[in-house]
Structure 1
Amino acid sequence: MRNNLLPALANRCKRAYLPLLFLGGSLLAGCSSDKNGDRVLFSIENDLQLGQQVAQQMDSTYRAKGQLLDRNSPNPRTRAAYAHLDQVVNRILESDQVSYREEFAWDVKIIDDPNVQNAFATPGGHIYVFTGLIRFLDSEDQLAGVLGHEIAHADQRHSVKQLQKQYGISFISRLVLGESAGQLERLIGGAAGQYLGLKFSRDYEREADEYSVLYLGATNYYACDGAAGFFQKMQTLQNSGTIPEFFSTHPAPGNRIHDIQAHAQQRGCQTTSASNTGYQEFKRNLGL
């Protein structure tokens, strides 16, 4: 019966060239639209499973290096830094613009590497921020802009969509089933945020920028174009001949700053923040 169903399902999804697979007795990829209105041939449960595997591997890698900061550390300054970072993330999540606010984990972890100016979010919403990025940024608006961008990648399911394009459905299904542990380790092994060897398309990067503006504007707390300030700093480094680590996983077309600012103007959201007074203390708590 399964073979008889596949052609009809594939035709309905207009994905006749892609196989439909089953995972644990349930359909791995369905035809119905997700919360974002997209037709992704993977369920949200698959995002959660894959994200959990990536997060476990990341945690293990950075813990072994002594770089994963413990949010339950006996050091009160480390705990205070986590409380501050959690507050930034929660303000974005409480904007009522994040589709998978309830379904995804949205836990955030700090990696102590002052030489890496990066952040990323896995499928399912596990967020990693490097101390090099926190030290590099001047304000909480800029940090919120970057976090909004990374949250958008997870919420819009860009990782799964990109993996589907690059490697195919059967490859991802093996990862989710735990049948390609060695391959998962190799893909994650780039470290410094280069998890899964993934570089998002310019369309996905542009979409994440736009959602960052939407999220921050809806908080009524942060300057909605906070990400533009971050890219302005990055552009300064690039113009001086320094290639920031962030560009290894995030393409930076020249009009990106302009596009973010234009999107903010179009939305009519505030481009000045309510307060950034706590950001320097946040950095000091991390010894930055």
Structure 2
Amino acid sequence: MQTIRAMWFVRRHMFGAVLCLLALDLARVATAQPADPAAAMQQMFDEFARASNAFMPGILGELTDEQVRQLEGIDIPIQDERRFGERVVEEYLATLRSNGLVWTEEGRDVEYLSQLVAKIRPLMERGKLYREIRVIVVESPTTDAYSVPGGTLIFSTGMVQHVANEAAMVGVLGHELSHLDRGHQLLPLRQAKMMRQPMSLDRGMSWIGLFARPFRPEFEKQADADATRWMMQLGYEPLALSRLLSSWDRRQDQQVPWQKFVPSFVKSHPDPGLRSVEIARLSEQLRQQYVDATYIGEDNLRERRPRDGGRRKSGQRKSERRRANRD
């Protein structure tokens, strides 16, 4: 427990020190008046990322291929993963409750998403470890979706309403299930194990919930690639996901255009426009292999009726609708 807290202390204070150095270097770049300020700033950020990444893999810069292979080779027992995920979900729902937000694990949206998950799960490499994937829908206008270790998907109503068709929804679900399948959210546990530090998942470690979402560029690329391939295996048009990301890119430009100048390692996700282009490129490569991957399904999404039908397995978890003032 103490060693894990010490690791977090080092990470946090090193990040603070790096930000201070970044501020000093920003001032240097500004006074030097380079011919191409944007290129000079990007070079500065890249140098800091590489230096920090050598000290602790993944702290700022992208992981190298070798570091990814090393981390992926570190086994986290499914029992530890489930305990980790249960703790994260417990904290998340407590936060919703304290902020007066409503969520549910039943109803049309949950049922529909669960049926789509059932289509994708057999394609997952580790799908058999997640015999039951819990789906939670939170009433929120934000377009948000993510997975939690152990087998939980959390979607906002804003996400369900914003997606235009079933193909794109399968893409979003596939992206999140890829994070789960590849164990991306287990990065902090693997880092601790790589450093030969004991892991503790006891109560009181509320900080661990901060690591629930991967947000690493190389992990996002893997998840997009898996989602694209799974969509095509199931007969869905992958460009539906590409168009969804492109629409988010346009909306981001309108709402927060300054994000275009933020270095990639401090963004929550890689640029959605670049992701859209990459998905389109990959789908073109796979097109001859999956010539029937053309299904869109606007009516399916609107009616919450999955393509080819399908019912949720009996005995799958359902729970009552919960409100903030209930516990």
TM over 0.5: yes
Residue 158 (structure 1) shift: 0.6
- The AA in structure 2 aligned to 1:216 is M
1:277 corresponds to 2:299: yes
Specify every segment of 5 or more residues in structure 2 that has no aligned partner in the other structure, as ranges. 1-55, 57-70, 260-265, 306-327
Mapped partners of 2:196, 2:213: distance in 1: 17
Change beyond 3 A, Cα 1:241–1:82: closer
Q: What are the superposed Cα offsets for residues 31-51 of structure 1, whole Å, 9 maximum, x if unpaired?
A: xxxxxx941242222212211
Instruction: Name the residue aligned to 1:255.
Output: 274
Instruction: Name the residue aligned to 1:107.
Output: 134
Residue 156 (structure 1) shift: 0.4
Instruction: Name the residue aligned to 1:85.
Output: 113
Instruction: Name the residue aligned to 1:131.
Output: 157
Residue 68 (structure 1) shift: 3.9
Instruction: Name the residue aligned to 1:266.
Output: 285
Aligned residue among 37, 50, 60 for 2:94: 60
- Helix, strand or coil at the partner of 1:121: strand
* Matched-pair contact (CA < 8 Å) for 2:74–2:193: no
Aligned residue among 216, 221, 225 for 1:210: 225
Q: What are the superposed Cα offsets for residues 16-67 of structure 1, whole Å, 9 maximum, x if unpaired?
A: xx9xxxxxxxxxxxxxxxxxx9412422222122112112222333245453
Rg (Cα) greater in structure: 2
When the two structures are superposed, what TM-score results if normalisation uses the length of structure 1? 0.68
Instruction: Name the residue aligned to 1:40.
Output: 74
Matches within 5 A, 1:174-213: 174=200, 176=201, 178=202, 181-184=203-206, 186-188=207-209, 195-196=210-211, 198-213=213-228
Q: What are the superposed Cα offsets for residues 199-255 of structure 1, whole Å, 9 maximum, x if unpaired?
A: 5321111000000012212222x22344212211111112223479xx963222643
* Matched-pair contact (CA < 8 Å) for 2:82–2:149: yes
Residue 168 (structure 1) shift: 6.5
Change beyond 3 A, Cα 1:225–1:123: farther
* Matched-pair contact (CA < 8 Å) for 1:125–1:155: no
Specify every segment of 5 or more residues in structure 1 that has no aligned partner in the other structure, as ranges. 1-17, 19-36, 73-78, 189-194, 284-288
Mapped partners of 2:134, 2:212: distance in 1: 22
Q: Which structure has the higher relative contact order (CA within 8 Å, separation 6+)?
A: 2
Residue 126 (structure 1) shift: 0.6
1:150 corresponds to 2:176: yes
* Matched-pair contact (CA < 8 Å) for 1:163–1:172: no
Aligned length: 226
* Matched-pair contact (CA < 8 Å) for 1:97–1:214: no
Residue 166 (structure 1) shift: 8.1
Mapped partners of 1:272, 1:127: distance in 2: 26
